Chains A and B, each alone.
Chain A
Amino acid sequence: MFLFLISCSVEPTSTAIVQLTATEEITQESAARVFVIGDIAESPTDIIETHLPLADYLVSHLGDYNIQESQIKVAPDIETMALWMENGEVDLYFDSPYPALIVSEQSGATPILRRWKGGVEEYHSVIFSLAENNFDSLDELNGQFIAFDSIYSTSGYMLPMAFLIEAGLNPSEMPSVDAEVASDEIGYIFTEDDDTSVQWVISGRVGAAVVDSGTYRDIPQETRDQLMILGETETLPRQIVVIRPGIDSNLLEAVRSLLLDMDQSEEGRLVLATFEETSRFDEFPGGADMALARMRELYDIVQN
């Protein structure tokens, strides 16, 4: 396991230093503060390229807070990200609700805003099967396999998992598709990829699968015509902006304002476009507490 560390200064131009190290503690205090944006990925180079413009944009507007340098840190897993946020090694982190909540729970970090990633502010999960399987309802999935994305996926695990549990069903993780599924349970297995989940249904490897609404929409119409939707979950924000615990309140507010106002300027929109085609950041509808409350409820259902 390795991690990439990119450090960038605001003036005069950004310099990048690449280190190959084991997990290490980095002191928070330095002569000039560094603002760190973090993410979890297996291909850090793509993350760094997409996040760096945003980091530079924020740093360029946070000079009043003695922030003159930006960094991008890519963690290999959620646990590392949680640790970094707890330690203050990462100031800002973006992710879908489920992993974001996990990190928040483990680190004390705070979800502050909603991110419209790819122009999508919210999404839900779609549970589907091949029409020829003739499943009329979710109950008929008992004894069948259902494909999930990954264990930290909001749309590919948390939402459908909570959905099935609240529907009174008994989803049970299986080691492989060759395992025996009891007639009173629904065996689920992680494919680690939404498109793979779709293909597993088509190829008959599993009886059903769940993917996010955007992925389902991207399935060719002629294929979708031969699928059957068994259920759709409630919607959740597409992505959440999480800020580290203990951050200065003024700095926090400054960051919030900056993010909220980015889509109001040409400069900001250009940066947003490079940041995985983010259209904007906004407040949680109905307030953060209410939104987060439901998210935490779903989280608890799944965790328990």
Chain B
Amino acid sequence: MVSKRVSLPTKISLAAKFSLLMTTLIVAAVMMVTLISIAREQANFRKELEQQAVLLLDVIRVNTADALYLLNVNRLSDVTSNLTQMEQGIGGRVYDADGRLLADSALGSTAAFNISPEMLGQTLVNRDEILFNWQDTQLEAGIPVIVGRDKVGAISVTLPTSILAAKMNQVRDQGVIFGVIAVIVGGFLAIAFSHIISEPLRQLTAASQQVAQGDFDQKVNIRTGDELSDLALAFNTMTERLRELVQKLKQRATDLQTANDHVLAASRVKSEFLATMSHELRTPLNAIIGFSDMLLMGISGPLNDKQIHKVERLQENGRRLLALVNDILDIARIEAGRIELRNDPFSPEILAQRLSAQMSVLAEKKNLALDTQVDGTLPPLLLGDEKIIEQVVVNLLSNAIKFTESGAVKLIFATEANMWSIVVNDTGVGIPPHALELIFEEFRQLDGSSTRAYQGSGLGLAISRHLVQIMNGKIGVQSTLGEGSIFTVHLPIRTPEQQALPVEKV
């Protein structure tokens, strides 16, 4: 058997809430009025009944004083019996000076001859004033009877409260009838009044929903002359402004699209230029370098020392020009956004070894020690573009060797939190403090000037910074003049087995 879950409505309309509230308030008000009426009637009746009791006691006292003084129980019985004939439910009792019952309208002639006193009799005899005892269905009142200075006994009367009960029931019934009428009338009024409020709100809600779906031509017509009118006016003004804003945004988007098209066209032209110029520039330079190699190899016959020196100079300049062209093309490619990173696994250990082998020739030429160190906490495989990383490290190591005359250059691969670092540490000339940021700009040299104090295009560090940023990393430098520099590259750790952790922003 499939059970069906019935869920309560989660949304109750404002009109329903208002109607419910009004009805609740009406019911509460009617109940309060009814209760107050009942309490007031009860208080009045109690007062009247007590007054009646006082009168009755006075009459009985006058009629029983002599008989009570003489303990004439038959006469006392006659007096109390007459009480029952006055009104149904009225009763009376007479007690002697010790509280013994002498006469009781309910018992007739059998009331007398009680040896033991009664509690009520004793209580009344010992009082100086009237006693009122309100019970469930009757009021009991009593006083002592005094003849001269002596208390000769006491009398009590009981008066039924059935009239009170009838009155209370009448008030209650009237309250219920009034309450039902009030609820019905109030309910209708509440529904009508809530409609006055909820209908404008419904219009506003519907219009708002249309606006949310993009229809800014909505207008709400509410002329209730109150806050709802103000709200409608504000809504209409808001939608008008929104419409204007959207139109402006659309226009701007069109303009941006046009500009973007131009940029894309320019970028396309630039890319084509780069591709064309890359080939046009490299080809003759490679030819120059190639032909110079051939000359040095003696392809056209042996060369004398002077000729060899000139060809070697030619070859060196060709290589330098080729390197400059490569750097410029790299910058151009970077600015054109043409760098596409690979995301292949590579071994940092193997990379470090290759770099060490590659750069050790340069270091040996200057009698510099080149130390390489790979931290054991590094994962065996990392994900990334090994060629780009190698290009950056080669640039840093080249600079370190170039600007170090003696001492050592260190290459360190390590891990730091969620990143892995590539540190190139040298004992070179150092970098002045004001140039620490400038050296990463294009065409800037060590001394921060644009003149060529050292060989190089001045683009290496700029290219390295761009490449590191493309890889979501960061590059920084610490240096002390005369003591050396430490270049540090931080890259996010990404392994074939896990996602890369968020890159720390510098």
Q: Which of A193-228 contact B (CB under 8 A)?
A: 193, 195-196, 198-200, 202-205, 219-220, 222-223, 226
Residues B100 and A203 in contact, CB atoms below 8 Å apart: yes
Verify if A50 is at the interface (C-beta below 8 Å from B): no
Verify if B140 is at the interface (C-beta below 8 Å from A): no
B56-83 vs A, CB cutoff 8 Å, 1 = contact: the mask equals: 0000000000000011111100000000
Verify if B102 is at the interface (C-beta below 8 Å from A): yes
A-B contact pairs, 30 of them (CB 8 A): A191-B70, A191-B71, A192-B72, A193-B72, A193-B73, A193-B74, A193-B75, A195-B72, A195-B73, A195-B74, A195-B112, A195-B113, A196-B71, A196-B72, A198-B73, A199-B71, A199-B112, A199-B113, A200-B71, A202-B100, A202-B113, A202-B114, A202-B115, A203-B97, A203-B98, A219-B113, A220-B110, A223-B113, A223-B115, A226-B115
Residues B113 and A203 in contact, CB atoms below 8 Å apart: no
Q: Which of B71, B72, B114 is the most central at the interface, judged by chain A CB atoms within 10 Å of its CB?
A: B71
Closest to A220 in B: B113
Q: Which of A66-91 contact B (CB under 8 A)?
A: none
What 20 additional pairs, Cβ within 8 angstroms, besides A199-B96, A199-B102, A202-B100? A130-B115, A191-B71, A192-B72, A193-B72, A193-B73, A193-B75, A195-B72, A195-B73, A195-B74, A195-B113, A196-B71, A198-B112, A200-B71, A202-B114, A203-B71, A203-B96, A203-B97, A205-B71, A220-B110, A223-B113
Given A191-B70, A193-B74, A205-B71: A198 in contact with B113 (beta carbons within 8 A): yes
B489, chain A: closest CB distance, angstroms: 119
Residues B114 and A223 in contact, CB atoms below 8 Å apart: yes
How far is it, in angstroms, between the C-alpha of A199 and the C-alpha of B113 when the chains are bound? 6
How far is it, in angstroms, between the C-alpha of A259 and the C-alpha of B73 when the chains are bound? 36
Which A residues touch B110, using CB under 8 A?
Answer: 220
Which A residues touch B115, using CB under 8 A?
Answer: 130, 202, 222-223, 226
B448, chain A: closest CB distance, angstroms: 131
Which A residues touch B70, using CB under 8 A?
Answer: 191, 196
Which A residues touch B98, using CB under 8 A?
Answer: 203-204
Which B residues touch A220, using CB under 8 A?
Answer: 110, 113
How far is it, in angstroms, between the C-alpha of A192 and the C-alpha of B97 when the chains are bound? 20
Residues A196 and B100 in contact, CB atoms below 8 Å apart: no
B392, chain A: closest CB distance, angstroms: 124
Which B residues touch A219, using CB under 8 A?
Answer: 113
B98-113 vs A, CB cutoff 8 Å, 1 = contact: the mask equals: 1010100000001011
Which B residues touch A222, using CB under 8 A?
Answer: 115
How far is it, in angstroms, between the C-alpha of A91 and the C-alpha of B96 when the chains are bound? 45
Closest to A227 in B: B115
A166-202 vs B, CB cutoff 8 Å, 1 = contact: the mask equals: 0000000000000000000000000111011011101
B75, chain A: closest CB distance, angstroms: 8
What does DSSP make chain B's interface, helix, strand, loop or mixed?
A: loop
Interface residues of B, Cβ cutoff 8 Å to A = 70-75, 96-98, 100, 102, 110, 112-115
Closest to B98 in A: A203
Which B residues touch A204, using CB under 8 A?
Answer: 98
Given A202-B100, A203-B96, A203-B97: A196 in contact with B73 (beta carbons within 8 A): yes
Which A residues touch B113, using CB under 8 A?
Answer: 195, 198-199, 202, 219-220, 223
How far is it, in angstroms, between the C-alpha of A202 and the C-alpha of B71 when the chains are bound? 10
How far is it, in angstroms, between the C-alpha of A200 and the C-alpha of B70 when the chains are bound? 8
Which B residues touch A193, using CB under 8 A?
Answer: 72-75
A204, chain B: closest CB distance, angstroms: 8
B148, chain A: closest CB distance, angstroms: 12
Closest to B153 in A: A203
Which B residues touch A198, using CB under 8 A?
Answer: 73, 112-113
Closest to A130 in B: B115
B371, chain A: closest CB distance, angstroms: 127
Which A residues touch B72, using CB under 8 A?
Answer: 191-193, 195-196
Closest to A194 in B: B74
Which B residues touch A192, using CB under 8 A?
Answer: 72
A9, chain B: closest CB distance, angstroms: 35
B79, chain A: closest CB distance, angstroms: 14
B154, chain A: closest CB distance, angstroms: 13
How far is it, in angstroms, between the C-alpha of A260 and the C-alpha of B190 when the chains are bound? 95
Which B residues touch A195, using CB under 8 A?
Answer: 72-74, 112-113
**What are the 4 closest A-B residue pairs judged by CB atoms, nearest first?**
A199-B71, A223-B113, A195-B73, A203-B96
B339, chain A: closest CB distance, angstroms: 124
Q: Which of A130, A203, A223 is the most central at the interface, judged by chain B CB atoms within 10 Å of its CB?
A: A203
Q: Which of B75, B98, B114 is the most central at the interface, judged by chain A CB atoms within 10 Å of its CB?
A: B114
A110, chain B: closest CB distance, angstroms: 34
Closest to B96 in A: A203
B316, chain A: closest CB distance, angstroms: 149
B125, chain A: closest CB distance, angstroms: 12
Which B residues touch A130, using CB under 8 A?
Answer: 115
How far is it, in angstroms, between the C-alpha of A204 and the C-alpha of B70 when the chains are bound? 13
A270, chain B: closest CB distance, angstroms: 26
How far is it, in angstroms, between the C-alpha of A45 and the C-alpha of B71 when the chains are bound? 26
B146, chain A: closest CB distance, angstroms: 17
How far is it, in angstroms, between the C-alpha of A204 and the C-alpha of B96 when the chains are bound? 11
A300, chain B: closest CB distance, angstroms: 31
Closest to A131 in B: B115
Residues B74 and A196 in contact, CB atoms below 8 Å apart: yes
How far is it, in angstroms, between the C-alpha of A93 and the C-alpha of B447 when the chains are bound? 166
How far is it, in angstroms, between the C-alpha of A202 and the C-alpha of B95 when the chains are bound? 12
Which B residues touch A191, using CB under 8 A?
Answer: 70-72
Q: Which of A193, A222, A226 is the most central at the interface, judged by chain B CB atoms within 10 Å of its CB?
A: A193
A45, chain B: closest CB distance, angstroms: 15
How far is it, in angstroms, between the C-alpha of A160 and the C-alpha of B71 when the chains are bound? 22
How far is it, in angstroms, between the C-alpha of A199 and the C-alpha of B71 when the chains are bound? 7
Closest to B115 in A: A226
Which A residues touch B112, using CB under 8 A?
Answer: 195, 198-199
How far is it, in angstroms, between the C-alpha of A114 and the C-alpha of B70 when the chains are bound? 34
